[in-house]
Structure 1
Amino acid sequence: MFVIVVLKHTLIIKVLIKQIFWRPRGTNQLQHIPLELGSPIVHVSSVDPYLSILTVDGQVLTLMLRETRGVAKLVISKSTLSNSPPVTTICMYRDVSGLFTYKIPEDFTHVPEHFVSEHDTKTEVENEDDLLYGDDSDFKMPTLNPPPPKPKIYYNWWKKYLLDIRPSYWLFVVRDNSNLEIYSVPDFKLCYYITNLCFGHKVLVDSLESVTLMNSSGASAAHEANIQRQYEVKEILMVALGNHGTRPLLMVRLDHDLYIYEVFRFPRGNLKMRFRKLKHSLIYSPNVAGKIDTEDSDFFAIQERIIKMRYFTNIAGYNGVFVCGSNPHWIFMTARGELRTHPMTIDGEVLSFAPFNNVNCPQGFLYFNKKSELRIGVLPTHLSYDASWPVRKVPLRCTPHFVTYHLESKTYCLVTSIAEPSNKYYKFNGEDKELSVEDKGDRFPYPLQEKFSLMLFSPVSWDVIPNTRIDLDEWEHVNCLKNVALAYEGTRSGLKGYIAVGTNYNYGEDVTSRGRILIYDIIEVVPEPGQPLTKNRFKEIYAKDQKGPVTALSQVKGFLVSAVGQKIYIWQLKDNDLVGVAFIDTQIYTHQILTIKSMILVADVYKSISLLRFQEEYRTLSLVSRDFRPCEVFAVEYMIDNTTMGFLVSDSEKNLVLYMYQPESRESLGGQRLLRKADFHLGQTINTFFRIRCKLGELGEDKKHLTGADKRHITMFATLDGGLGYIMPVPEKTYRRLLMLQNVLVSQGAHIAGLNPKAFRTYKSWRKVQTNPARSVIDGELVYNYLHLSIPEKMEVSKKIGTKIEELLDDLSDIQKITNHF
C-alpha cells in the first residue's frame, strides 16, 4: 500500500494494488476508484495536483485533482502514452527553476542594463583646488553649445534571478530499452528524448534535436541491447534542490550504481537544456536483507519496485534525498549550491525511510533497518552538513596552537595565544639581558607580542572549563604539547597520563635561548556549585628551566623523552623531579619525536629523520639508522601494515616519502641507512599526521581477514592549504589491480587543465637526486575517477587491464568502507 499526502488540498490518498481510496476535504466519507488495468500497481509518483501510477506490465495512468464549486474530484487524465516498449519506472516533477522552457528568456541571453543621466547621479562636492587652478587634464576652451552629458550605464544582471517563475509539470518515463522520455503535463506531449540512459554518459543530449541517418550495425545493436539488459534502470527521481529549488537534479539508480545529473541551459533543441553528470562519492549497494522469497511473480515485482531514493524536506532544516540500501547515504544541496553526500553507517542497512515531524521528534525521520526494526531519529543540529564532513565550529576568540586528549579525565588540553601590542624588549648588555621600555606615544604602532596560555576544554559543553586557565610567563612560547604516560607507583599498570609542555623564552637573537619543561597532572576536585565541569583542575608536578629550548617531547617505556637544544634526553620522574637517564647528540633542530615500544623516530628540520633505540636495562640511547639525504621535514608518522612498519615523512617541497628499516638489504649499508620505498608529490604542504585503525564495521567477516584490514592503520594528514586526506597500505593483489587501472586512466580521458597526473605526482626536489623515483603509491583521486566513467568506458578500461568491472568496484568500495570514519 502506498500513502501519498497532497499538501495543497490536505488530502490523504491510499493507493492499493488495484484501487484507490481517498477522503475529500470537508467530508467523512471514504471514496474509492476501482482501476481495471489488468495488472497490479507497482509504482506511484505524485506532485500536487497530479498523480501517476505504473503497473507491472508497463501501463502509465495519470490522475488529476480538480476542484469545482468547492468539491475536489480525482479525474483520470487522458494519457496518450504507448505501452510499447513497456515502461519500467516513472517520476512526476514540478519545475520552479525556469530551466524547463522552450525559449530562453532575454534576460539570460544578454546582460540587462539601464541608463542613468549624470545630472541625476552627480552628488559629490567639487574640489576647490580644481576650481582655482584647474584639474590635471588638458585645458580646453569652453564652447557655447556643450555636448549633452553621456548617461552612465548600470548593469542589473542580478534582477533576472528575482523573477517569479511559473511552475510547470513534467512526467519522466523510462522504458524497457533504457530510453528516457519527458512529457509535458497535462497535454502529454513528448518534449525530450534520451537514449541509453543506463550508459551513464557525461552529458545527456536530446535525441529529438538530430535525425538518425543510418541504423547501427547488427553487432553494435546487439552489444547495446546486452548492456541494457545487464544494467537496467531501476528507479529515477527528479528533484528541485538548492536555493528555492533552482537546481534540478536527475538521479538514476541502477543495480549497483547511481548517477546524478544537473540541468543546465543549452540554446538548441526543443527544450533549451541538457543534463550534466555530477561527481559524487556515493557507491551504491543494493539491500541484502529484507528480500522475500516467494513464487508469486506479481508480489516479487512489487517487492523489487520499492523506492530507495526518498526526497525529504525540512529534516534539521535541510532538504535533500536519502538513498536506502546496504550503504545508505544522505544527499544535501543547500543554498550555497554544493552537492554534499554523507553516509549513515550507524545502523547498517536501511530498507525504507520517511521524514517524521512530531512534538517529541521535531524535524526528524524514521526508517527500517536490516532487522525490520523501526527507528526514529533526528540529525544533530549543532553540526553543519554543508561540508565534505559534518563539522562544528567552536569559537575560541584566540589562536589555538596545540591540542591533546587526556584519557583519564576525558578532557582536552589546549594551548592558545593572544597577540597584544608591547613596548618592551630585551637587549644584551655584555653579561646579561636587560629589559628596555620604549615610549613613542599613542600613535606609534607597537609590535604584537604573543602571550601563551594553557587551559582545559570540555567535550561535553565544547567550552573552556572555568578556572583552569594557566598563563605562561611573558616572552615564553610553547613549542610542544604531549600527553605522556610516565611510570608512577600509584597505579596498577605502573603508568599514568600527564600533560607535558615544552617552552622557550624568545628574547631575541642576541640573548641565548632557554626553555622549560612543564608537567601537569589533571586531578579531580569538588566542583563549584552549579558548575559540574569544574571538577577537573591542573596540578603542577614539575616546572624547571633547561639548558636550551625544549622543542619536542614524548615518552618511551615510562620515561620522558625531550629534545633540548642539540641533545635528546631521557628522564625518569621521581618524587616530582626529573632524573636524567640517557642522552644523545642530534643534528641541527629536532622538532618532532615519535615512539613505538623502544624505538624513537626523530625528525630534524634540515637533516631528515633518524631512528633511535632505548635499552632500558643498559640505560643506553643509541642511533640505529638514519636518512643520509638532507631534507626539510615538516611532519613524520609511522605506517602500520600488519607486522610491517614504515616511516612516513612530509617535506617542504610538498612530497610524501615512505622510509623503511631493512638491515638485510644491500643498499642499507648494514642497516645504517633508511631505504626509501615509496614517494608521492602531493602538491600541498603537510604539517601534521595522525594514525587511526581501519574501520571494520561495514566489512563482512570474510573480508576482514582476507584483506588484513583488522591489522592495518590509516594515516590521516592535514595540509597548510586546509585540506584533509589519508594514505593507507593495501594488499598486493589490490595494489596491482589499481596500478594497472591508474596506468590506463592516465591516457584514457582528459585531465584538469591538461596536466598529466603521472608527471605531477612524481617526486620533486630542487637538489639533483641520484636515484630514480620510487613511486609505489596509487593516486586515489585518479583511480576514483573510474566510478564516474560511462558503462562503455568502464568495460573498455576493465578489458584493457584484464579484469572485471565488479572487481574494481569492490576494491574501491572496500577502501571507502574501511576509511569511512567521518
Structure 2
Amino acid sequence: MGDSSSCSVSVSAPAAFGSSKKCVSSCTLYHDKGVEPWLRMTSTDAWLSTGVGETIDGTDGSLQDQGDIYCVACYDNGDLEIFDVPNFISVFYVDKFVSGKSHLVDHQISDLQKPSEVDQNSQELISHGRNESSQNMKVIEVAMQRWSGQHSRPFLFGILTDGTILCYHAYLFENTDSASKIDDSVSIDNSVSSSNMSSSRLRNLRFLRVPLDIQGRDDMPNGTLSRRLSIFKNISGYQGLFLCGSRPAWFMVFRERLRVHPQLCDGPIVAFTVLHNVNCNHGLIYVTSQGVLKICQLPSTSNYDNYWPVQKVPLKGTPHQVTYFHEKNLYPVIISAPSSEARSSQ
C-alpha cells in the first residue's frame, strides 16, 4: 500500500488471505466512485457498512464522497470473492465462478433460498466447446469497471486459462422475503462481529451473464496464452476496454451495451495503453507480436455504436447498384448525377 504523505510503499498480507488455504489466481481493485456509489445501494445497511469511504471537503467548499474500494479475488478452485478495503471483510462470494453461470448470486443468499426459488438458469453452464469440469480451469485475469454515464452499472470480466472471456453486468435485486430470512438468521447469533459481517454483505447484488460475439480460445503461435484486458475511459471520446492477444478486439460501451469490434490489422497485439498529449489527443499506443510500436488515433468519421464500424461516404449522386469485387476487395457502386454539360446543351 502507498502513502502519499511520506511517499512510501508498504507490503502487508491481509488476514483474510493469510488464514485461507486457497490460492489466489487473479485479483483486481474496484473503485466505486461517485456521490452515490452504486455497490453501496446493494448493501444491507449502506451507510453503516464497513466499506463506506469518508466524505471530505472539496476545493469549492462542497462535500465530496471518495466512494468505496473493493478487492475482487479469484481462487484456483474457480470461486470468486469480493472484499471491502481496507478491512478486507468478505461482502460477496460466488461458488464456481469459472463455470460460467448465467447469474451470479452471493452464496449466503442462495443457501437461504429454497431450491424451487433459486433461478435454475444460474446453475446451468454455458457451453463454449470446452470441458467446464476440468480441474485445471481457473481465472487468470479479472477486471471490474463502471464507466461514466447515466444509470451506469458495473461490468465484471474474467479470462480463463483456455482464453474464454466471461462478461457479467451487475444489477440491483430486492427481495424482501430473502432479506427477512437473513435478518432472522443474524438475530439468532448474538455475536457482534457476525452481525456486522452480515450487514455489510452486498445481499442485493446480482450479475447477469452477457454473451460476447467473439471466439473463445486464443493461443499464440508458441502456445502461450496472451489475452489481457486494458480499460480505457476516453479514446477519441469512446470508453470501454481493449483485448490484447492473437485476436485483438475493441469492447466499446454505448448506453450500457457492449459493442465488440475485432481489430483485423497488424496481427496479434501484446501490449496496449492510452496516450494523451498535445501531439496525440486521446490516442493510444500498442505493440504487435513482431515488436512494432504504433501510435494511433481512432477515426473521428466512424460510428462504432453498431454491429460493425460505420462510416458515411457522400456519393454526390443517386446510387443504382452495388456489388463486391473480390479481386481487389472493393465494393463498386453505380451512381448517376446531373451533368452541367447536359443542361447547357438543352
Query: Does the TM-score normalized on the shorter chain lie above 0.5?
Result: yes
Where does residue 338 of structure 1 map in the other structure?
A: 257
Where does residue 92 of structure 1 map in the other structure?
A: 29
Asked whether the 8 Å contact 1:99–1:263 carries over to 2, the reply is no
Displacement of 1:256 in angstroms is 3.1
CA distance in structure 2 between the partners assigned to 1:358 and 1:337 by the alignment: 28
User: Secondary structure of 1:198's match?
Assistant: helix
Query: Is 2:154 aligned against 1:248?
Result: yes
| AA partner of residue 81 (structure 1) | A
| AA partner of residue 237 (structure 2) | G
Give the alignment partner of residue 264 of structure 1, picking from 168, 171, 185.
171
Where does residue 81 of structure 1 map in the other structure?
A: 16
CA distance in structure 2 between the partners assigned to 1:184 and 1:406 by the alignment: 56
Give the alignment partner of residue 312 of structure 1, picking from 225, 232, 236.
232
CA distance in structure 1 between the partners assigned to 2:288 and 2:174 by the alignment: 46
| AA partner of residue 15 (structure 2) | T
Asked whether the 8 Å contact 2:236–2:298 carries over to 1, the reply is yes
| AA partner of residue 212 (structure 2) | H
Give the alignment partner of residue 207 of structure 1, picking from 82, 86, 107.
107
Displacement of 1:317 in angstroms is 1.4
Where does residue 239 of structure 1 map in the other structure?
A: 145
User: Secondary structure of 1:227's match?
Assistant: coil
User: Equivalent residues in 2 for 1:511-526 (5 A)?
Assistant: none
CA distance in structure 2 between the partners assigned to 1:240 and 1:406 by the alignment: 41
User: Secondary structure of 1:341's match?
Assistant: strand
CA distance in structure 2 between the partners assigned to 1:308 and 1:203 by the alignment: 24
CA distance in structure 2 between the partners assigned to 1:367 and 1:247 by the alignment: 28
Displacement of 1:377 in angstroms is 2.2
CA distance in structure 1 between the partners assigned to 2:244 and 2:157 by the alignment: 13
Asked whether the 8 Å contact 1:266–1:274 carries over to 2, the reply is yes
Displacement of 1:86 in angstroms is 0.7
Give the alignment partner of residue 414 of structure 1, picking from 332, 335, 339.
335
User: Secondary structure of 2:154's match?
Assistant: strand
Displacement of 1:79 in angstroms is 1.6
Where does residue 292 of structure 2 map in the other structure?
A: 373
1:232-254 per-residue CA deviation (whole Å, 9 max, x = no partner) reads 22211111125169231101111
User: Which structure has more RCO (C-alpha within 8 Å, separation ≥ 6)?
Assistant: 2
User: Secondary structure of 2:39's match?
Assistant: coil
CA distance in structure 2 between the partners assigned to 1:370 and 1:233 by the alignment: 24
Asked whether the 8 Å contact 1:95–1:167 carries over to 2, the reply is yes
> How much is the aligned-residue C-alpha RMSD, in angstroms?
3.6
In structure 1, runs of 5+ residues without a counterpart are 1-62, 106-163, 214-224, 293-303, 416-453, 456-467, 473-539, 541-822
User: Secondary structure of 1:229's match?
Assistant: coil
User: Equivalent residues in 2 for 1:12-27 (5 A)?
Assistant: none
Q: Which moved more, 1:248-257 or 1:187-196?
A: 248-257
Asked whether the 8 Å contact 1:96–1:245 carries over to 2, the reply is no
Asked whether the 8 Å contact 2:213–2:260 carries over to 1, the reply is yes
Displacement of 1:313 in angstroms is 2.5
Displacement of 1:167 in angstroms is 1.6
Between Structure 1 and Structure 2, which shows a larger proportion of strand residues?
A: 1
1:754-801 per-residue CA deviation (whole Å, 9 max, x = no partner) reads xxxxxxxxxxxxxxxxxxxxxxxxxxxxxxxxxxxxxxxxxxxxxxxx
Give the alignment partner of residue 173 of structure 1, picking from 58, 73, 94.
73
Asked whether the 8 Å contact 1:263–1:275 carries over to 2, the reply is yes
CA distance in structure 1 between the partners assigned to 2:271 and 2:98 by the alignment: 24
| AA partner of residue 335 (structure 2) | L
User: Equivalent residues in 2 for 1:732-743 (5 A)?
Assistant: none
TM-score (norm 2): 0.68
User: Equivalent residues in 2 for 1:684-763 (5 A)?
Assistant: none
Could you tell me the percent identity over the aligned residues? 26
Taking a change above 3 Å as real, the CA distance of residues 364 and 104 of structure 1, as seen in their structure-2 partners, is same
1:595-654 per-residue CA deviation (whole Å, 9 max, x = no partner) reads xxxxxxxxxxxxxxxxxxxxxxxxxxxxxxxxxxxxxxxxxxxxxxxxxxxxxxxxxxxx
CA distance in structure 1 between the partners assigned to 2:276 and 2:341 by the alignment: 47
User: Secondary structure of 1:365's match?
Assistant: strand
In structure 2, runs of 5+ residues without a counterpart are 47-63, 114-130, 180-200, 326-330
CA distance in structure 2 between the partners assigned to 1:406 and 1:80 by the alignment: 63
User: Secondary structure of 2:146's match?
Assistant: strand
Taking a change above 3 Å as real, the CA distance of residues 471 and 390 of structure 1, as seen in their structure-2 partners, is farther
Query: Is 2:242 aligned against 1:322?
Result: yes
Where does residue 517 of structure 1 map in the other structure?
A: none
Asked whether the 8 Å contact 1:178–1:232 carries over to 2, the reply is yes
Displacement of 1:375 in angstroms is 2.5
Query: Is 2:90 aligned against 1:190?
Result: yes
